[in-house]
Chains A and B, each alone.
Chain A
Amino acid sequence: MEADRKLITDLTPEIEKTSIKWYITFFIFLAFFAVGIYGLYQQIDKGHIVTGMRDNVVWGFYIVNFIFFMGLSYSGALISGVLHLFHTGWRKPIIRMAELITIISLIIGPFFIFFCIGRLDRLHFLFLYPRIQSPITWDVIAIITDLVGCFLYLYLSFIEDFAILRDYPDLKVAPWKKKLYKTLSLGFTGTEQQHKILSNARMVMAAMVIAIAIIVYSVLAWIFGVTLQPGWHSTIFGPYFVIAAVFSGTGLLIILMWIFRKIYHLEEYITQRHFVNVGVLLTVIAAFYGYFTFSDYLTKWYGSIKMDSILIDKLFTDYYSLFIFANYIGILLPCIIIAFPKFRTIPNITIAAIIAVTALLVNRYIIVIPTLETPFLPIQDTRPDWITYSPTWVEWSLTLAGVSVFAMLFMLVSKIAPIISISEMQEKDKNEIMK
Chain B
Amino acid sequence: MKDEAENVSDGSSRRNFLKKVGVGVGAISVTGIVGSSLLKGNEAKAKSGKLVKLLSPEGKLVEVDQDDIKSAKGIQPADNETVEQHKLEARAGLPNRKFAMVIDLARCKNARKCVEACQEGHLLPKDHEWMRLYLLQDDSTTSKYWFPRPCFHCDKPMCVSVCPVGATYKRADGIVLIDNQRCIGCKFCMTGCPFSARVFNWKDPEVKVPEGHVYDPETNIPATEGTVGKCVFCADKLRLGELPRCVSACPMGVIYFGDILEDTVTNGNETERFSKLMTDRAGYRYREELGTLPSVYYLPPTQRMFPVESGLEDTDKSIKDRYKKVGPR
Which residues of A come within 8 Å of B, CB atoms?
Answer: 46-49, 53-56, 58-59, 113, 116-119, 122-123, 125-126, 128-131, 133-137, 140, 223, 226-229, 232, 306, 310, 372, 375-384, 386-387
Contact = CB atoms under 8 A, between A and B. Distances in A.
Given A136-B164, A377-B134, A380-B135, A118 B190 contact: no
Contacts of A118: 183-187, 200-201, 225-228
B153 to A, nearest CB: 16
Interface stretch (B116-124, B125-133, B248-256): B125-133
A117 B185 contact: yes
Contacts of B149: 377
Given A119-B184, A130-B164, A380 B326 contact: yes
Interface in B304-329: 321-326, 329
A377 B133 CA distance: 11
Interface stretch (B58-66, B77-85, B191-199): B191-199
Contacts of A227: 158, 162, 191-192
A229 B191 contact: yes
A118 B188 CA distance: 11
B96 to A, nearest CB: 26
9 smallest beta-carbon distances between A and B, as pairs: A118-B185, A118-B226, A47-B203, A136-B164, A49-B203, A134-B164, A58-B187, A49-B202, A119-B226
A247 B158 CA distance: 32
Select the residue from A55, A56, A116, A227 with max chain B CB neighbours within 10 A. Answer: A55
B329 A125 contact: no
Interface in B271-329: 287, 290, 292, 321-326, 329
B202 A54 contact: yes
B54 to A, nearest CB: 35
B161 A134 contact: yes
17 contacts: A46-B203, A48-B202, A58-B190, A58-B191, A116-B187, A118-B183, A119-B183, A122-B165, A125-B165, A128-B165, A129-B166, A130-B165, A134-B163, A226-B162, A376-B195, A380-B132, A383-B127
B134 A378 contact: yes
The main secondary structure of chain B at its interface with chain A is loop
B182 interface: yes
Given A227-B191, A227-B192, A384-B324, A136 B202 contact: no
Given A117-B186, A229-B191, A55 B165 contact: no
Contacts of B191: 58-59, 227, 229, 232, 372
B29 to A, nearest CB: 30
Given A54-B200, A380-B325, 6 more contacts: A117-B184, A118-B226, A125-B182, A126-B184, A134-B162, A375-B194
B321 A384 contact: yes
A67 to B, nearest CB: 14
A136 B162 contact: yes
Contact of B134 (A116, A136, A306, A381): A381
A228 B184 contact: no
Contacts of A134: 161-164, 188
Contacts of A125: 165, 167, 182, 184
A380 B134 contact: yes
Contacts, number: 151
Given A227-B158, A372-B191, A384-B321, A126 B165 contact: yes
B136 interface: yes
A48 B194 contact: no
Contact of B204 (A47, A54, A135, A306): A47
Contacts of A122: 165, 182-185
A236 B329 CA distance: 27
A381 B132 contact: yes
Contact of B133 (A49, A376, A381, A386): A381
Select the residue from A119, A128, A387 with max chain B CB neighbours within 10 A. Answer: A119
Nearest to A132: B164
Contacts of A384: 321-322, 324
Interface in B10-66: none
A120 to B, nearest CB: 8
Nearest to A46: B203
Select the residue from B188, B199, B228, B326 with max chain A CB neighbours within 10 A. Answer: B188
A131 B185 contact: no
A386 B196 CA distance: 14
Contacts of B227: 118-119
A47 B184 contact: no
Contact of A129 (B127, B182, B325): B182
A137 B165 CA distance: 8
Interface in B212-240: 225-228
Contact of B165 (A116, A129, A306): A129
B202 A135 contact: no
Select the residue from A46, A126, A376, A379 with max chain B CB neighbours within 10 A. Answer: A376
Nearest to B149: A377
A163 to B, nearest CB: 43
A417 B290 CA distance: 54
A58 B186 CA distance: 9
A133 B329 contact: no
Contacts of A113: 186
Contacts of A123: 184
B165 to A, nearest CB: 4
B197 to A, nearest CB: 9
A306 B186 CA distance: 29
Nearest to A123: B184
B128 to A, nearest CB: 8
A401 to B, nearest CB: 21
A309 to B, nearest CB: 10
Given A47-B226, A116-B187, A310 B132 contact: no
A192 to B, nearest CB: 49
Contacts of A46: 203
Contact of B196 (A133, A136, A375): A375
Nearest to A138: B164
B203 A48 contact: yes
Given A377-B195, A381-B132, A47 B187 contact: no
Contacts of B188: 134-136, 223
A131 B200 contact: no
B164 A228 contact: no
B108 to A, nearest CB: 13
